[in-house]
Chains A and B, each alone.
Chain A
Amino acid sequence: MFEIVDLQKIYRMGDVEVRALDGVTLDIAKGEFLGIMGASGSGKTTLLHMLGLLDEPSSGRIVIDGTDIAKLTDYERTMFRLYKLGYVFQDYALVPDLTVMENVSLPAMLRKDRDDEQIKRDSYHILQQIGLCDRRDHLPRELSGGQQQRVSIARAMVNKPDILFADEPCANLDSENSKMVLELFREINEEMKQTIVMVSHEDWHKDYFNRIVRLKDGKVVSDGFNGKAEKAG
């Protein structure tokens, strides 16, 4: 469903040229839980932002379900993100003035194919799944970091996206909360067949992924399914 061909991202700062991505070619299939790993500065976030239509590549092609992303207008890209993609960020990034319920409902409220009844049902359902239903009228600042991150996962999932992106979702959490969040991702992946692309540089996270792409200096240095090629790479 995802096809990335020879993707490049070059940042120019004065005379210096930074090749954040240097010819990445990748396919992502439905139902995968893909981990992007690599050292700091290796280009993980840059790649994720390209895939998530949050940034435009310097060259190369991204095709999603047969749609060439380069041909979309700004508004079409926004709608593409709203209808097909979900995001979880390192710092949760919830709207501080909205309750848990309102935060989760927000992306659904903008969709033309959802009525109030369905939005309520979907939000309620996803909150039940992450186990924070009883906190639905609380504000984000009244929750712990781990709880906030779970709410942000619920917000990303409420529209049942084709693909879920997460950039170091556990970076601000202790190992206990990290485990909880990772378990949640695994559950979503296995039970709902949700495609997930997650960036991480914590080695122990790799147990949760079923495929791992390793980056170094903007290049893919290894790509394989967990427990097999990965070890060879």
Chain B
Amino acid sequence: MGKKELKVAFLLALRSLQRGSRSSVVLTVLIIAMCFTNMVFLPGLFNGIGQSITTQVVDYEVGNVLVSPKSGDQYVTDLDATLDLINGMPGVERATPHLSKGATLKYRQRVLGVSVRAISPNDEKYVSPLYTKMVAGSYLGDGDTGEVIIGKPVAGDATIKEEDEFQPSLGGVRVGDSITIEYGNGYTKDYRVKGIYSTGWSSADNTVYVTMSDMELVEGKPLDYADYITVKAKPGYSEKFIKDELQQYGVSQKVQTTADLLSKVMGQALQSFAIINMVSLIVGIIITTVVLFIVITIKTLNSRRQIGILKAIGVDKEVIMHNYGFQVIIMAVMGIFFGVILTALIAVYLAANPIVTPEWSATLYLTPLDYITNSLILFLASVVAGYVPAYQVSREDIQSAMRA
């Protein structure tokens, strides 16, 4: 197969696409573009969901590294010394404790069971963006007592009737209002609502935050223990590095990275995602293959006599085959190109308007590698689908082709 033959085959292909049926070319390209979109959209969306869940777990639950009680213990003990130890290590931005207690909130006629989480407000700022999520009032200060901040869904909305609520709330608490908290140990106290926040992360939004100082009053003793410590890494330090360091330098508690924790929880979900991704990939490939196969088969069947004539006047069968091959290649490249543009536009749109649910908010998460692998897979499938009928028709003998 020389250069001249390829040139003629390409000319024949190009002219056939330019001057043949426009609508069939446009529709074929569109179908390939749609199949490409279908192949990358769901996996991209799932990746986006995974990313958003991971970010929120890091932001509002565990930080980069979680230090929790060693097995058999209820609390991380010797809290101050442990915090000092961790905060002194290279790569640690800040370590901060959480201590949660079950409680009942009362406001006017409403009663609501929630968990009250005690934090060190200033240290928490280094670990969690909670302080940036205030929608009313202000964030807690370290020495505050008798004040709480509550999630928007807990505060509720006075304009919605109790029976119409999506989830039970206090029915419209506002900043400055007083709510009563009754803890599991019987301790009861009135608090002023200092602020209301909304993070979009459901478990954080269904919580009430108080300061560690307030929790000391509840427990009735100095707090030298916590449920766990969340650790934020400095930029450039890996979670794994921090974990190894903590274990090496005598943190006797259980130390886990976010990845350790998520791999267990998310593993299950990711596995179901992987199956759905595989199905959408296979469906995309099959549709593209079948469509291209049909399009090229119809083309070749319609031009059997034409092909016979070309062979008669001395056009080699390889030229005939590559003519149809090139047509497929051109349409596949255009289809994939439009598919890339389409998905990129969807990604931009979703970045500006994420799909939001109470559990997560999702954008399309697509890496260049996703684009490249999916393009290649689709391209190869197209080429196979086009060359099979092209090969068959190019081998037909002149007599039967010319009689067609």
A83 interface residue per 8 A CB criterion: yes
Q: How far apart sit A89 and B311, CA to CA, in the bound complex (Å)?
A: 13
A106 interface neighbour in B18, B19, B306, B315, Cβ under 8 Å: B315
Q: Which of A55, A87, A98, A102 contacts B313 (CB 8 A)?
A: A87
List the A side residues contacting B261 at CB < 8 Å: none
Which of B4, B20, B311, B398 meets A97, CB within 8 Å? B20
Q: Of A73-81, A176-184, A192-200, A201-209, which binds chain B?
A: A73-81
The answer to whether A85 touches B399, judged by C-beta atoms less than 8 angstroms apart, is no
Query: CA–CA, A83 to B316, complex, Å?
Result: 12
Q: Do residues A97 and B16 form an inter-chain contact, with CB atoms below 8 A?
A: yes
Per DSSP, chain A at the interface is: mixed
B contact residues, total (Cβ < 8 Å): 27
Q: Is A63 an interface residue (CB 8 A)?
A: no
Contact B2 A78 (CB under 8 A): no
Q: Indicate if B402 sits at the interface (CB-CB under 8 A).
A: yes
Contact A75 B313 (CB under 8 A): no
The smallest beta-carbon distance between B242 and chain A, in angstroms, is 66
A107 at the interface (CB under 8 A from B): yes
A85-121, CB < 8 A from B: 85-87, 89, 93, 95-98, 102, 106-107, 109-112
Chain A CB within 8 A of B319 CB: yes
Count of A-B residue pairs with CB < 8 Å: 72
Within 8 A of A (CB), among B311-345: 311-317, 319
A93 close to B314 (CB less than 8 A): no
The answer to whether B398 touches A54 (Cβ under 8 A) is yes
B7 is an interface residue with CB less than 8 A from chain A: yes
CB of A102 within 8 A of CB of B15, answer: yes
Q: Does A156 contact B (CB under 8 A)?
A: yes
On whether the beta carbons of B18 and A107 are closer than 8 Å, the reply is no
Q: Is A155 an interface residue (CB 8 A)?
A: yes
Q: Which residues of A contact B313 (CB under 8 A)?
A: 81-82, 86-87, 106-107, 155-156
| Min C-beta distance of A124 to chain B, whole Å | 18
The yes or no answer to A139 lying at the interface (CB within 8 A) is: yes
Asked if B310 is at the interface of the complex by the 8 Å CB criterion, the answer is yes
Please state if A79 and B312 are interface contacts (CB–CB under 8 Å): no
Q: Is the CB of A139 within 8 A of B8?
A: no
Residues in chain B near residue A97, CB distance under 8 A: 12, 15-16, 18-20
Most buried by A among B20, B305, B398: B398
A112 neighbours in B (Cβ, 8 Å)? 2, 4
Do the beta carbons of B399 and A110 come within 8 Å of each other?
no
Q: Are B309 and A78 within 8 A (Cβ)?
A: no
Q: Give the docked Cα–Cα distance between A97 and B311 (Å).
A: 17
Q: Chain A residues with Cβ under 8 A from B312's Cβ? A: 52, 54, 81, 87
Residue B27 at the chain A interface, CB threshold 8 Å: no
Q: Which residues of A contact B18 (CB under 8 A)?
A: 97
Task: Name the one of A54, A93, A107 contacting B399, with C-beta atoms under 8 angstroms.
Answer: A54
Q: Is A61 an interface residue (CB 8 A)?
A: no
B399 engages A95 (CB within 8 Å): no
| Whole-angstrom CA separation of A111 from B312 in the bound complex | 15
A99: nearest residue on chain B (CB-CB)?
Answer: B15
Give the residues in chain A near B11, CB-CB below 8 Å.
98, 102, 109
A75, A102, A109, A112: residue with the most chain B Cβ atoms closer than 10 Å: A109
- The yes or no answer to B5 lying at the interface (CB within 8 A) is yes
Q: Which of A55, A98, A102, A107 contacts B314 (CB 8 A)?
A: A107
CA distance A107 to B4 in the complex (A): 11
Query: A95, B316: Cβ atoms under 8 Å?
Result: no
A19 within 8 A of B: no
- Asked if A136 lies at the interface with its beta carbon under 8 angstroms from chain B, I say no
Q: Is A49 in contact with chain B by the CB < 8 A criterion? A: yes
Are A109 and B309 closer than 8 Å at their CB atoms? no
Query: What is the distance, in angstroms, from A112's C-beta to the closest C-beta of chain B?
Result: 7
**Cβ-closest 7 pairs across A and B:** A82-B314, A93-B309, A81-B314, A97-B19, A97-B15, A97-B16, A109-B8
A residues sitting closer than 8 Å to B (CB atoms) are 49, 52, 54-55, 75, 78-79, 81-83, 85-87, 89, 93, 95-98, 102, 106-107, 109-112, 139, 155-156
Can you list 24 A-B contacts with CB-CB less than 8 angstroms, sorted by A residue number? A54-B399, A55-B399, A78-B314, A78-B315, A81-B312, A82-B313, A82-B314, A87-B312, A87-B313, A93-B305, A93-B309, A95-B15, A95-B306, A95-B310, A96-B306, A97-B15, A97-B18, A98-B15, A102-B15, A106-B313, A106-B315, A110-B5, A110-B315, A156-B313
Further 8 A-B residue pairs, CB within 8 A, beyond A78-B311, A112-B4, A155-B313: A79-B316, A95-B306, A97-B15, A102-B11, A106-B8, A106-B313, A110-B316, A156-B313
